[in-house]
């Protein structure tokens, strides 16, 4: 579909009445200069008369182009597809058990390495990083600049943290991440929970309440259980109810595979964006230059003489 045209200052188009009146006057006037020749008849050239009228119309047309340019012509382009931003909040357990050796590093080391690999693959999304034990620490705010992720691992290594980070309160961490994500007005929302333990604060129906709140807010929870043994039922239930999935990863290869699967599940979503207007002076400017050139050429000889 061709672009639709608009103007930034359409009221200025009312000034087009001036060149229109000039054109009407040019083509309807009957003035002339009568000289007292000795009764000789005057020859009339209809073709030359039309040419003269056309030449005299050029200044009015040039004025009309100037008015249009002052009004600011714009072209409305076709609506384009826009990538929907995905806001992903990583929620990483830093309790003492995350320091247990797994492969060549600890559970924590492997989780952070997988996070950095995942972030590199998801260019264009916004990421945040939260560490939790008993308390919660939002380390990196939601941002598309992920350079801080690569600097985070040494500072939050389990075993080097204050004693109040020692436990595993998953419910408290999910509530904190929910609050962060709800501050974002645009884009899809997701929590990627990495933990290796059971959380007492999900007992007594707390897991169902948290799952319902996250579901109502449209927040999907993906869980990575970085330990041997079964995934706690409460954690798996939260993931399932919010439309996510819980992954059991008891070895380094499984952790990498888990994040690769999450990457494949979090599809890039496109929506139709509103068409945008852009200045469109080119055609009008060319029309003005062409009119000015014709007017200058006509001034060299195509004009009425008073004799």
* DSSP secondary structure letters along 132-182: ESSSEEEEEEEES--HHHHHSGGGG-TTSS-GGG-S--HHHHHHHHHHHHH
Please name every residue paired with 73 in a beta bridge, in sequence order, or none if there are none.
7
Within this chain, do residues 185 and 67 fall inside the same structural domain, yes or no?
no
- Does residue 211 fall inside a structural domain? yes
pLDDT of 266 reads 63
Radius of gyration of the chain (CA): 37
Q: How many domains does the chain have?
A: 2
30 and 115 belong to one structural domain: no
Residue 202 lies in a domain: yes
User: Which pLDDT value is given to residue 9?
Assistant: 86
Examine the domain organization and report whether 73 and 88 are in the same domain: no
Q: Residues 9, 116: one domain? A: no
Statement to judge: residues 244 and 294 lie in one domain: no
Residue 165 and residue 73 in one domain = no
Determine, yes or no, domain membership for 305.
no
The answer on 96 and 65 residing in a single domain is: no
Give yes or no for a contact between 139 and 131, defined as CB atoms under 8 angstroms apart: yes
Measure the CA dihedral 111/253/120/92, to 10°.
-20
Strand-pair category, 246-248 with 73-76 = unpaired
Residue 176 has pLDDT above 90, yes or no: yes
**What is the per-residue pLDDT for 173?**
95
Q: Which residues contact 275 (CB under 8 A, 6 or more apart)?
A: 76, 77, 78, 79, 80
* 223 within a domain of the structure (yes/no): yes
Place of tokens 């309807």: 28
27-69 per-position pLDDT tens digit: 887 755 555 544 545 555 577 678 788 888 888 898 999 999 8
pLDDT tens digits for 131-173? 999 989 999 898 888 887 778 778 888 877 777 677 889 999 9
User: Does the residue 306 lie in any domain?
Assistant: no
On whether both 153 and 244 belong to a single domain, the answer is: yes
Residue 115 shares a structural domain with residue 233 = yes
- On the question of pLDDT at 185 being above 60, the answer is yes
The answer as to whether 291 is a domain residue is: yes
Please state the pTM of the whole predicted model: 0.61
| 224 phi/psi in degrees, rounded to 5 | -115, 110
CATH code: domain of residue 119: 3.40.50.410
Kindly state whether residues 255 and 184 are assigned to the same domain: yes
> How far is the C-alpha of 13 from the C-alpha of 82, rounded, in Å?
34
Which two tokens mark 305? 């003489």
Rounded CA gap, 230 and 165, in Å? Answer: 24
> Residue 304 falls within a domain, yes or no?
no
Band of pLDDT at residue 3, cut at 50, 70 and 90: very low
Over residues 111-124, the mean pLDDT reads 85
Domain that holds residue 163: 82-271
307 assigned to some structural domain:
no
Residue 304's pLDDT is 56
The better pLDDT of the pair 8, 210 is held by 210
195 and 90 both lie in a single domain = yes
Does 178 lie in the same domain as 71?
A: no
Q: Is 279 in contact with 28 (CB distance < 8 Å)?
A: no
pLDDT in tens, 58-109: 888 989 999 998 888 887 766 555 556 788 999 999 988 888 888 788 889 8
pLDDT of residue 49: 72
Report d(CA 165, CA 92) in Å as an integer: 12
For residue 45, what are its two tokens? 């050239």
Q: Which pair of structure tokens corresponds to residue 21?
A: 């009146």
């Amino acid at each position: 579909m061709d672009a639709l045209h608009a103007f930034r200052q359409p009221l200025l188009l009312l000034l087009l009445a001036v060149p229109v009146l000039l054109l009407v006057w040019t083509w309807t006037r009957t003035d002339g200069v009568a000289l007292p020749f000795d009764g000789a008849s005057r020859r009339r050239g209809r073709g030359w008369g039309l040419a003269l009228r056309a030449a005299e119309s050029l200044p009015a047309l040039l004025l009309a182009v100037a008015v249009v340019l002052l009004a600011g012509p714009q072209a409305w382009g076709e609506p384009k597809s826009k990538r929907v931003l995905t806001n992903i909040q990583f929620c990483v357990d830093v309790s003492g058990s995350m320091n247990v050796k797994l492969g060549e590093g600890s559970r924590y080391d492997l989780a952070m390495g997988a996070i950095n690999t995942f972030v590199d693959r998801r260019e264009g999304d916004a990421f945040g990083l939260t560490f939790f034990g008993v308390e919660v620490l939002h380390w990196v705010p939601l941002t598309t600049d992920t350079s801080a992720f690569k600097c985070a691992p040494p500072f939050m290594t389990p075993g080097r943290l204050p004693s109040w980070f020692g436990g595993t309160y998953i419910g408290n961490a999910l509530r904190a991440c929910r609050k962060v994500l709800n501050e974002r007005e645009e884009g899809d929302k997701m929590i990627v929970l990495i933990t290796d333990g059971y959380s007492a604060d999900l007992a007594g129906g707390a897991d169902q309440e948290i799952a319902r709140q996250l579901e109502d807010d449209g927040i999907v929870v993906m869980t990575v259980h970085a330990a041997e043994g079964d995934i706690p039922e409460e954690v798996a239930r939260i993931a399932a109810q919010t439309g996510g999935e819980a992954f059991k990863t008891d070895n380094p290869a499984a952790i990498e595979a888990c994040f690769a699967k999450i990457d494949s599940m979090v599809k890039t979503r496109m929506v139709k964006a509103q068409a945008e207007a852009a200045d469109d002076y080119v055609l009008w400017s060319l029309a003005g230059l062409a009119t000015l050139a014709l007017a200058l050429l006509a001034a060299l000889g195509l004009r009425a003489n008073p004799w």
